[in-house]
Amino acid sequence: MSYSVGDGVVVLGLAAGIVGYFYVKQQARNKRLEIIHEERMAAMEKGIPLPEFPLEPMRGPRVPDPNVLPILGTVLLSLSMGAMIVLSRIYPGATEGFWVAPLPLLFLGIGLLAFHFLKRDAGR
């Protein structure tokens, strides 16, 4: 394979973007630490006691979104139904049984929707 100059420019651009992202992230962290330090020094000069702050904010557990299961189930259901219709129309000849290939995705979508509705009714 021979690579062109454009390929090299793309790779350099991606690398520069990644390095730039981490640089900006580090600068924001340093700025936040500098502001905290200035506030603490001003409070110490005035004699105001300050509680210890963690340098990195604590991240609590995220609350699961209740809309993920029905959305994913609907997407899988519609995608597999569409694929089955298209496969049955495109290959009507010798490969007539090929339309059943998306059935696992169809059953997965139906299962996710059923689980969501059963879980919602059980919570009442």
- CA 53, CA 58: separation in Å to the nearest integer? 10
Cα end-to-end span (Å), the chain: 62
Which amino acid does the sequence have at 71? I
* 93: helix, strand or coil: coil
- The yes-or-no verdict on residue 37 having pLDDT over 80 is yes
| Boundaries of every domain in the chain | 1-60, 68-119
The pLDDT tens digits for 45-89 are 888 887 676 666 677 888 888 889 999 999 999 999 999 988 888
Q: Decide if pLDDT at 123 tops 70.
A: no
Query: 53 vs 115, which has greater pLDDT?
Result: 115
Average pLDDT, the chain: 87
